[in-house]
Structure 1
Amino acid sequence: MAETRQHKVHQKKLQELVKIMPYYVGEYVDDKLDTRSSSTLLNYVLDYKMFFEWLISEGITEAATIKEIPLSVLEKLKLDDAKNFFKYLQRRDIQVSKNETKKPEKISVNRKISALRSLFHYLTTQTENDEGEPYFYRNVMLKIEVNKVKETLGARASKISTKIFQNNDDASFLWFVRNQYEKNLPDGSRKRIFFKRDKERDLAILSLFLGSGIRVNELTNLRLKDLDFELNIISVIRKGGKKDTIPVVPEAMRDIRDYLDIRSERYKATNEDSDYVFISKGSTSPSPLANRSVESLVKKYTKAYKSNKSMSPHKLRHTYATNLMEETGDIHLLMRQLGHSSTSTAALYSNPDQEKAQEAARQLGLRRNQLNKD
């Protein structure tokens, strides 16, 4: 299984986090490492940390530290206490900006329920003490319901459509970055200097997102050997460490070629096959771009294009997917291009019922206007 830079970082963070966890959490992680990604396990253990900290703050355990929390606390945890933890999660305020807070998304709370269910299931069915019995039998988490997010496929598809580039806006956006963005920056400013240095790189990144639909992690892990300009394809590492090869819009490959023409000189980079494609200029040597850096630059350019609408790499992926579906109508091609295993996920980009409803509404509006004229 191929490992990305992000997975290696998460694996290291996971190892450090496990050190402050009770021994049984360490056993759980060790048992699941071969079947679940380090990224998933890291998120789970972060959820356990929040849960254990809550147990201590509420006086449900006498342990002074997370590491000291005994199995008996989980075994004897009252249903009301378990429910109160999830009420706490649902009702707490999350800071989104200096003057703004929001309540957690249901999907976030559901993930924490799933994480704790997984741990309790392991402790009550997949462990063994000296007597050959599970660590304990009573699983209070089985009594906690997952509050599924009730949303139709049409509603989800409609929500996506309001947050992506429509019609030819993706092409107009790339034109804006190529020809107009610099003009909006003050002469001699640091922003203008850095843009001129990074213009070809940033354009290549934006163009590749809109010309292939790859994920941000797939982009930041691209190596020079993964680019095939003859066939206009790239090799990527999908979720789960699976290797895949996908076609790219030729214009996007040309933008990458333009970037590579200046990459060595401008970033003092080598051209070894194993070198990362997208890099930043460090004080001593170049370093591969991090996911967060790519997310920031996408947000910066999309907000400059539409001042009230900054976007993420995932929204550029959605834009590509919608355009591909409109162009081909082939859901299986879409699944392969995006690395999806489920047609229900891919179907979000094709919503004929919504399109029919919109057309019907337009026709009814024309009819109303005609009657008003008469």
Structure 2
Amino acid sequence: MANTRQHQLHEKKLEELMKLMPFYVVEYVDQKLGSRSPSTLLNYVHDYKLFFEWLMAEGITNAREIKDIPMSVLENLKLIEAQGFIRFLERRDIQVNKQDTKKSEKVSINRKISALRSLFKYLTTQTENEDGEPYFHRNVMLKIEVTKVKETLNARAARIATKIFHQDDDIRFLEFLKNDYEQELPADSRKVVYFKRDKERDIAILSLFLGSGIRVNELSNLRLRDMDFEMGQISVLRKGNKRDTVAVVPQAMDDVKDYLAIRNQRYNATGEDYEFVFLTKVKNEPQPLSNRTIEALVKKYTKAFMSNKSMSPHKLRHTFGTNLMEETNDIHLLMMQLGHSTTSTAALYTNPEQEKARKALKELGEKRKER
């Protein structure tokens, strides 16, 4: 299942983390690898690690290492103890940076509950011992509720709208990078040196996000063979390992061409069709850019442009989706372009009811003036 570099990396990390886990978690992961991605399972096992560490800290198990925690601890876990773990998740402080901390978001807590539910369901219904029975029957996690985060489609759409580029800000942003960003850097600094080296590459990345709406993982896994300049489109690997063809704004393809013109010489790369498009240079050797590096450069440049806030690749994707919807008002075209399978997700990029409300209220305000 690990077809992308991100999945391959997560598979290696998962393999290392499994060395710390009890046999029943190792067995669970082995069984689920065919149906769930390494990325999902890696997140689950991180959640299990946190849970097991809490069990040891609370004295619920006498085991000194996670891998030695017996399955009987899960079988006999009391409801009040399971609820105690949830309260721990809600109250703990998570370090954001050296100065700041934050509380866990409800979505994050729900994911941990879901991860534990999946493990407990496996152990109580999908396993079989020598007697043909599940490893154990009592599933305390069934008594722990997942409280869904309540938010209307209007609220989600409005929240997204406050965090993306509007009108022609995306165009101005790219112009800022091409013409003005370098002037804001300290003269003769390393920042200037690196920007000059990576300018064409970084502009191509940002332009491609804003000109196609692809996801960060889809961009980082682009190979030279995936670029079709004649047709103005690219081939990407969507979620679920589905291959798809995506149309690209012509100007974005031009920016990619400008980058490819200097790519081989500047990053010691070759033009082999299997090579990754976007590279960095490590010890004078070409290396494909990681998702984290791409996310960091998007944050850096958008913060420089907007001064007080930054954006993520996903927000650039939202910007493209909103622009496409405003231009075409075609939700099915939007779904195809962004790789959505349901109209409910695509509907986040258009909010006609909210627009109708704004116009109606404006008219009411005009009537008040007349009286």
Structure 1 residue 29, shift from structure 2 partner: 0.5
Give the secondary-structure state (helix, strand or coil) at the position aligned to 1:34: coil
- 242-251 vs 119-128, which deviates more? 242-251
Contact 1:213 1:321 (8 Å CA) reproduced? yes
- In the other structure, the counterpart of 1:150 is 150
Could you tell me the percent identity over the aligned residues? 69
Contact 1:224 1:271 (8 Å CA) reproduced? yes
Q: Does 1:201 align with 2:201?
A: yes
Q: How many Å separate the matches in 2 of 1:93 and 1:51?
A: 16
- In the other structure, the counterpart of 1:105 is 105
- 327-336 vs 76-85, which deviates more? 327-336
Could you list the per-position Cα deviations for residues 44-66 of structure 1 after superposition, in whole angstroms to 9, with x for gaps in the alignment? 01100100110000000111111
Structure 1 residue 367, shift from structure 2 partner: 4.3
- In the other structure, the counterpart of 1:289 is 289
Give the secondary-structure state (helix, strand or coil) at the position aligned to 1:128: coil
Structure 1 residue 83, shift from structure 2 partner: 0.6
- In the other structure, the counterpart of 1:53 is 53
Q: How many Å separate the matches in 2 of 1:53 and 1:157?
A: 38
Q: How many Å separate the matches in 1 of 2:115 and 2:90?
A: 16
- In the other structure, the counterpart of 1:248 is 248
1:84-103 to 2 correspondences below 5 Å: 84-103=84-103
Give the secondary-structure state (helix, strand or coil) at the position aligned to 2:96: strand
Q: How many Å separate the matches in 1 of 2:325 and 2:316?
A: 14
Contact 1:21 1:66 (8 Å CA) reproduced? yes
Give the secondary-structure state (helix, strand or coil) at the position aligned to 1:234: strand
Structure 1 residue 366, shift from structure 2 partner: 4.0
For 1:306, give the aligned amino acid.
Answer: M
- In the other structure, the counterpart of 1:16 is 16
Could you list the per-position Cα deviations for residues 118-153 of structure 1 after superposition, in whole angstroms to 9, with x for gaps in the alignment? 000000000000000000001000000001001111
Could you list the per-position Cα deviations for residues 79-135 of structure 1 after superposition, in whole angstroms to 9, with x for gaps in the alignment? 000011011001111122222221111000000010000000000000000000000
RMSD: 1.2
Q: How many Å separate the matches in 1 of 2:189 and 2:19?
A: 47
Q: How many Å separate the matches in 2 of 1:20 and 1:97?
A: 27
- In the other structure, the counterpart of 1:238 is 238
Give the secondary-structure state (helix, strand or coil) at the position aligned to 1:60: coil
Q: How many Å separate the matches in 1 of 2:77 and 2:363?
A: 60
1:23-102 to 2 correspondences below 5 Å: 23-102=23-102
Give the secondary-structure state (helix, strand or coil) at the position aligned to 2:272: coil
Unaligned runs of 5+ in 2: none
Unaligned runs of 5+ in 1: none
Q: How many Å separate the matches in 1 of 2:13 and 2:80?
A: 33
Could you list the per-position Cα deviations for residues 157-200 of structure 1 after superposition, in whole angstroms to 9, with x for gaps in the alignment? 00000000011111111111111111212321211121111111
Structure 1 residue 282, shift from structure 2 partner: 2.0
Contact 1:2 1:237 (8 Å CA) reproduced? no
Could you list the per-position Cα deviations for residues 28-78 of structure 1 after superposition, in whole angstroms to 9, with x for gaps in the alignment? 011111000000000001100100110000000111111011111111100
- In the other structure, the counterpart of 1:345 is 345
Q: How many Å separate the matches in 1 of 2:73 and 2:19?
A: 20
Q: Does 1:134 align with 2:134?
A: yes
- 121-130 vs 322-331, which deviates more? 322-331
TM-score, normalised via structure 1 length: 0.97
Return closer, same or farther for 1:130/1:240 CA change in 2, 3 Å cut-off.
Answer: same
Give the secondary-structure state (helix, strand or coil) at the position aligned to 2:282: coil
- In the other structure, the counterpart of 2:187 is 187
Q: For this pair of structures, how many residues does the alignment match?
A: 371
Q: How many Å separate the matches in 1 of 2:185 and 2:114?
A: 47
Return closer, same or farther for 1:233/1:28 CA change in 2, 3 Å cut-off.
Answer: same
Give the secondary-structure state (helix, strand or coil) at the position aligned to 2:245: strand
For 2:250, give the aligned amino acid.
Answer: P
Q: How many Å separate the matches in 1 of 2:201 and 2:12?
A: 29
Q: How many Å separate the matches in 1 of 2:331 and 2:144?
A: 36
Contact 2:2 2:8 (8 Å CA) reproduced? no
- In the other structure, the counterpart of 1:317 is 317
- In the other structure, the counterpart of 1:262 is 262
Q: How many Å separate the matches in 2 of 1:261 and 1:364?
A: 57
- 245-254 vs 338-347, which deviates more? 338-347
Structure 1 residue 359, shift from structure 2 partner: 2.2
